[in-house]
Amino acid sequence: MGKRLFPTFVKYVSQSVMGMVGISCYILADTWFVAAAFGAEGLAALNLAIVVYSLMNAAGLMAGIGGATLFSLSFAAGRERRTEIFSSTAALGLFFAVIFTGAGLFFSGGIARLLGADEVIFAMTRSYLRTILSFSLFFIMNNIFLAFVRNDGSPRLAMAAMVTGSLSNIALDYLFIFPFGWGLFGAALATAIAPMISLALLSLHFVLRRSSFRPSLRRLRAGAVAKMIPLGLSSMVTELSSAATLAAFNLMILAMAGNTGVAAYGIVANLALVELAVFVGIAQGMQPLVSRSRGADDGHSCRLLLLYGAAFSLAVASLAYGTVFVWAR
C-alpha cells in the first residue's frame, strides 16, 4: 500500500508546493519592483499593508481548506452533497469578501494609521490597502476554488492556475509601475488581477465538465458552514500568527529605526512568507489524500501520509536553514 501511496503523495504535494510558492510570489514580486521604484519608503508602506493581506488570505484559507476537507470526507455521499458543501463554502467566502471590501472602501486610511504609517508613507499605504481590499472577493474565491479543484482530482490544474497568476503578476507589476507610472496603486492592481487570471483557468474544471459538483444557490446549508469552520481553523491560525508577528515587529521597528528599519525587515519577512508557503503547500497537497483515507476509515494510509509529510517538511526546513547560513548576504 505504501508503494502505491507514495507516488500519489509526491504528485499532489509537489504540485501544491509549486502553486503555493507561485501565490507567495505575488507579494515578493511587489517587493522587488517597489524597492526598485520607490526605495525604502515604498518597501515600508508595502510591509505595513501586507498585514491586512495576510488577514484576508487567512479568511480565504479557512473557508477553502475547511470546505474542501469536508468535501473530501463526504465524497461518497453523492453529487448533491458535494454541491451543497461547495455552495455553502462559496457563500462563506462571499460574506468575508463583503467585510474586507467594506473595510477597504471606507476605512483604509484608519487601518493605515493603525498599522503605523506616518505622513511620509501614509498615502502609499492607504492606496495599496484600498486597492487590495477592494478586490478581496477574487483573492478569497481563488483560495476556495483552488482547494476544491485540487480535492476534486485536478491538482495539476490548480498548480497551473497559481503559477500563471503569479507570472502575470510579475509582468503586470513591471508594466504598471514603470511604463504606466501608477506607483504603489499599480503594484496593488497587478497583485489584484493575478487571482482573477487564476480563477479564469480554474473555471476550465467546470467548462470541460471535469467537476463532480456544481455551484447552486439552492444548495446553501448553514450546517455545512458550521462543520467546515473547525476543519479550516488550523490554516487560518497559521496565517493569523504570521500577520500578528509581522504587525508587532513593524510597530517595534518603526519606534526604533523608522521607515528604513521596516523596509529592511520587510525584505526578510517577505522571504519568510515564501518559505511558509512551502510548508502550507505540503499540508494542502496532503489534505485531499488524508481526507479521503479518513473518509474510507483507512488509518494505515493516514499514518503513512503523516510520516511522508513530516519527512518532507524536515528536508525542506534543513535546506532552508542551510541556504540562510551559507547565502544570507
pLDDT digits (tens, 9 = 90+) for 101-134: 999 999 999 999 999 999 999 999 999 999 999 9
Mean pLDDT for 290-294 is 85
**CA 62 – CA 111 distance, rounded (Å):** 23
Closest C-alpha to 37, from 187, 190, 261:
187
Residue 329 pLDDT level (bands cut at 50, 70, 90): confident
pLDDT at 76: 63
Residues of the chain with pLDDT > 90: what percent?
A: 46
Name which residue leads in pLDDT, 294 or 139. 139
Phi-psi region of 78 (alpha: psi -120 to 50; beta: other; left: phi over 0): left
- In the predicted structure, residue 235 carries a pLDDT above the cut 60: yes
Range 195-221 average pLDDT:
83
**pLDDT band (50, 70, 90) for residue 1:** very low
| Mean pLDDT to the nearest integer, 292-305 | 87
Q: Are 247 and 90 in contact (CB under 8 A)?
A: no
pTM comes to: 0.86
With b for 16 or more beta-carbon neighbours within 10 A and e for fewer, the 16-29 pattern comes to bbbbbbbbbbbbbb
* Cα–Cα distance, 154 to 141 (Å, whole number): 17
**pLDDT score for 217:** 67
pLDDT of res. 149: 92
Average pLDDT over residues 190-212: 90
Q: Is the pLDDT of residue 309 over 70?
A: yes
Model confidence pLDDT, tens digit, residues 50-62: 899 989 999 999 9
The chain-wide mean pLDDT, for the chain, equals: 88
